[in-house]
Amino acid sequence: MRTHYCGTITSAQIDEEVTLYGWVDRRRDHGGVIFLDMRDREGIVQVVFDPDTEEHFQRADRVRSEYVLEIKGRVRARSDATINPNMLTGEIEILGKKLEILNSAATPPFQLDQHIEVGEDVRLKYRYIDLRRPEMLEKLKLRSRVTSSIRRFMDENGFLDIETPILTKATPEGARDYLVPSRTHEGKFFALPQSPQLFKQLLMVSGMDRYYQIAKCFRDEDLRADRQPEFTQIDIETSFMNDQQIMAITERMIQGLFKEVLDVDLGDFPHMPYAEAMSRFGSDKPDLRIPLELVDVDDLMRQVDFKVFNGPANDAKGRVAALKVTGGAQISRKQIDGYTKFVSIYGAKGLAWIKINDITAGIEGLQSPILKFMPEDIITQMMARLAVTDGDIVFFGADKTSIVNEALGALRVKVGEDQGLIKGDWAPLWVVDFPMFEENSEGNLTSLHHPFTAPACSPEALEKNPEQALSIAYDMVLNGTELGGGSVRIHQADMQQAVFRVLGISDEEAQEKFGFLLDALKYGAPPHGGLAFGLDRLVMLMTGAKSIRDVIAFPKTQSAACVMTDAPGLADNKQLRELNIRLREKPKAE
């Protein structure tokens, strides 16, 4: 039996006989004495074999990196000269007495400390080796502490951990479904859940009162950067609680988690209406660590003789906004060109700017290609509104409101990062009062959250004026990332049907897709609501990982594949026949 993990042995164990299991991190031959750095889950310890223990010394001489060993030995203090203060075990070493080789290892495809050079594809192909790196281990350990803290909180607060089906019907969360063909029901398909949304609502109808689940969700999206087709949610639902109460209890959970795992006090989370977040930050997940804001200048731009500005300023669906960067006048032309390219990703056709060199010199003290289009009094009013001082730069966005918000919202974050303006480590908030619907590119209304979100108005008012309707929904945002979101749900069938009608879902279609929910709402559904947190994203923020893939043991690549197992794979003909599936075209061999 193991007596200690390698990385946990300190001076407290001096003179103890220990048994260790682990991998050879490094082997060094120092003129007749062999040093092995033994590694396991908890860290590294140095083991020394000298020729006295002949048989075991011979074996120590044979081992190579990543061999798996059992070692017995005695803990002793290192000589002063060899103490390594950078290692937890740096004051001691093990004088090895016995060594068993439990398994040899082929030369690893990369040295554990050379993972950066080998690239992510190789790391993912040999993920089991990549995960041996202490840095990766630490992330997965922290993830485990996060889930155990959450489970404890949930348990203490009376939440029941209940599993919901993976083979199910579509649960709309705005992505494509992953489909699974049914063998026993010819021509029919299961959908993997985009979330447990409908089941958790049904659990409230059953009277479970408080539910949670650490649940896998599946969304077949065109992979935007850092999304995973399968990911994990901390999924929560409650009965008889209003939005404020749901936010309060989940805020306590996240505060407690940060305190316990990172010893960080997040403080109370401010609440900000969606409209304010969009207007001030161009985003419904503002990073409040960045002290830059968008300022509307539509009213000033209506009259200017410059179509780029007066067009959107006079359009009800347009916006002209300014972003002042204090001290930004030193941003070079080249950097501005870079930013212009950056905002074009979001559909912006250009990026106008004004540098303030000497505010006392009036228009002469400003520098910009667009000044010639603007009357002086408009410029003066604008500068006063923006409260500029010497050395500032102001960027402008003028386009459809959605493009201006996205472009300037993203620019705000980029410039904030580039200019080192980020203040503080953590800035949480709740974004509330979302609109019920948004217009998609075809001009149809779609749910901003999902169609089961309760509006803050009556069914009549909703159908009369759906664009104006607000929902009782809330998102928790941390450092510009949406950590989680949820809502109070519709618990009455007539309201649910009204929402379906606004979404253009006919009664027949609603019955076919969600008949079971509409039925359930008739049989005594309590008022209920909840939310879900993205566990992967939460752990990514808490560990400071650069990518969501670094906090998932076996993630998919950007193209939604697993390079280690080679999934997805081809199905053989027998399987396809059993499933009654004929492929339209033979997939080309890879």
Residues lying near ligand ASP in the complex (CB under 6 A) are found at 173, 195, 197, 485-487, 530-532
Nearest to 370 by CA among 427, 297, 453: 297
HSE value, Cβ hemisphere, 13 Å, CA-based, for 76:
14
- What distance in Å separates the CA atoms of residue 136 and residue 124, rounded to the nearest whole number? 12
Is 537 known as a binding-site position? yes
Q: Quick one: 352 or 477, whose CB is closer to ligand ASP? A: 477
CB of residue 485 to ligand ASP, shortest distance in Å: 6
Is 534 known as a binding-site position? yes
CB of residue 171 to ligand ASP, shortest distance in Å: 8
| Residue 349 · residue 399 · CB < 8 Å | yes
Closest chain position to ligand ASP (CB): 195
CB of residue 228 to ligand ASP, shortest distance in Å: 14
Which positions ≥6 away from 370 have C-beta within 8 Å? 306, 352, 353, 354, 396
Is 489 known as a binding-site position? yes
CB of residue 448 to ligand ASP, shortest distance in Å: 11
Q: Quick one: 428 or 486, whose CB is closer to ligand ASP? A: 486
- What distance in Å separates the CA atoms of residue 524 and residue 519, rounded to the nearest whole number? 10
Q: What is the 3-state secondary structure (H, E, C) of 430-443?
A: EEECCECEEECCCC
Q: Quick one: 46 or 213, whose CB is closer to ligand ASP? A: 213
CB of residue 537 to ligand ASP, shortest distance in Å: 12
Q: Quick one: 115 or 219, whose CB is closer to ligand ASP? A: 219
The sign of the dihedral angle between the CA atoms of 327, 328, 332, 333 is negative
| Residue 482 · residue 490 · CB < 8 Å | no
Nearest to 258 by CA among 156, 153, 137, 158: 153
For 235-267, give one letter per residue: b (16+ CB within 10 A) or e: bbbbbebebeebbebbbebbbbbbeebbeeebe
Is 219 known as a binding-site position? yes
Q: Quick one: 13 or 197, whose CB is closer to ligand ASP? A: 197
- What distance in Å separates the CA atoms of residue 575 and residue 569, rounded to the nearest whole number? 12
Is 482 known as a binding-site position? yes
Q: Quick one: 310 or 487, whose CB is closer to ligand ASP? A: 487
Which helix (H) or strand (E) element contains residue 321? Answer: strand 318-325
Q: Quick one: 7 or 193, whose CB is closer to ligand ASP? A: 193
CB of residue 529 to ligand ASP, shortest distance in Å: 8
Is residue 192 exposed (0-12), middle (13-18) or buried (19+ Cβ within 10 Å)? buried
Is 221 known as a binding-site position? yes
Is residue 482 exposed (0-12), middle (13-18) or buried (19+ Cβ within 10 Å)? middle
Q: Quick one: 318 or 485, whose CB is closer to ligand ASP? A: 485
CB of residue 559 to ligand ASP, shortest distance in Å: 23
Q: Quick one: 233 or 368, whose CB is closer to ligand ASP? A: 233
| Residue 25 · residue 67 · CB < 8 Å | no
The answer to whether the peptide bond before residue 568 is cis (omega within 30 degrees of 0) is yes
Q: Which two tokens stand for residue 565?
A: 């197992």
Write the single-letter amino acid at 11: S
CB of residue 363 to ligand ASP, shortest distance in Å: 50
| Residue 388 · residue 439 · CB < 8 Å | no
CB of residue 194 to ligand ASP, shortest distance in Å: 7
Q: Which residues are annotated as a binding site for L-aspartate?
A: 173, 219, 449, 489
Q: Which residues are annotated as a binding site for ATP?
A: 219-221, 228, 482, 534-537
Q: Which residues are annotated as a binding site?
A: 173, 219-221, 228, 449, 482, 489, 534-537
